[in-house]
Amino acid sequence: MAALSMRDREDVLGFIEGFSGTNRYILDYLLEEVLAGQPAEIQHFLLYTSILDRLTASLCDAVLADEEGVEIIRLTEKSKASQAPFGTIRGYRLLSSPPAPVSIDKLCGIFAQAARALEISRAICMVDFIISNGEIVLLELTPRPGGDCLPALLRAASGFDILGFSLAFARHQTMQHLPPHDMPPMVGIRLLAHRSGIVKQINAERLERDPRVRDLAIIRSAGHRICLPPEDYDSWLLGHLVFMPAE
């Protein structure tokens, strides 16, 4: 809610400097000045998610195909990065099913309702949502497949080419069969730099020799300039790796 209150302010720096957790009037301010000014659906979401006992942030790709309903391509759990800008995702872990008691059928039903509300009838969608106490809260439903290291994670776990599938889907061509839900619980990690500067060398030999690593992509080389967020949200990404956790 503090972020919402900064949205329409000109002196953002002054607001941040004056905003302190020890201010006894912060709660009243947020409730009366910020929360009350939001639409009803935003108020409901903020109040609902502020008292969650257990929250799982998840992401999936789903196919919405005309009258054939919804089919989930892959389901992942997001892992947020510590000591990084708010919302930074460190990686993803493949799930064979959503957290109990939510079922695949329930997820598909919620996605179908959201798609109808958005007038989406045929698309491959990336769906971002949270689950708490058996309830599903949709954050985003966008007609595109998931990016980052997700295509590499899916390919390493099942051989499924989500990008090729998306092109065939858009062209109404014959498509590859969808991967099974019980894929190996592989993990995809985004390799992020920890400080700004010029890359002198990236030595990935230990990762290349690790038998757990199934896919490794280094996209930077010596001479690359790294600037950390919020100055630059792209240059600090060095690549990704996909691995199978030890049992």
Query: What is the residue-level pLDDT of the chain in tens, covering all 247 positions?
Result: 444 444 454 554 554 445 444 444 444 545 555 555 666 665 555 554 444 334 455 777 778 765 668 889 999 998 887 777 777 889 999 998 888 888 889 988 989 889 888 888 889 999 998 888 788 888 888 999 988 999 999 999 999 999 999 999 999 898 888 888 889 999 999 999 999 999 999 999 999 999 999 999 999 999 999 999 889 989 999 999 999 998 6
Under a CB-based contact definition with an 8 Å cutoff, are residues 78 and 92 in contact?
yes
Under a CB-based contact definition with an 8 Å cutoff, are residues 246 and 186 in contact?
no
Q: Which two tokens stand for residue 238?
A: 């060095």
Report the pLDDT value the prediction gives residue 130, as an integer from 0 to 100: 87
Report the pLDDT value the prediction gives residue 54, as an integer from 0 to 100: 40
Q: Is the dihedral of CA 132, 134, 138, 143 positive or negative?
A: positive
Report the pLDDT value the prediction gives residue 210, as an integer from 0 to 100: 94
Residue with tokens 């209150």: 5
Q: Which two tokens stand for residue 217?
A: 């992509």
How far is residue 227's CA from residue 33's CA, in Å, rounded to a whole number?
A: 36
The model scores a pTM over 0.75: no
Report the pLDDT value the prediction gives residue 246, as an integer from 0 to 100: 80
Report the pLDDT value the prediction gives residue 196, as an integer from 0 to 100: 95
Closest by CA to 76, choosing from 144, 7, 126, 19, is 126
Report the pLDDT value the prediction gives residue 51, as an integer from 0 to 100: 41
How far is residue 12's CA from residue 3's CA, in Å, rounded to a whole number?
A: 10
SS3 state of residue 49 = helix
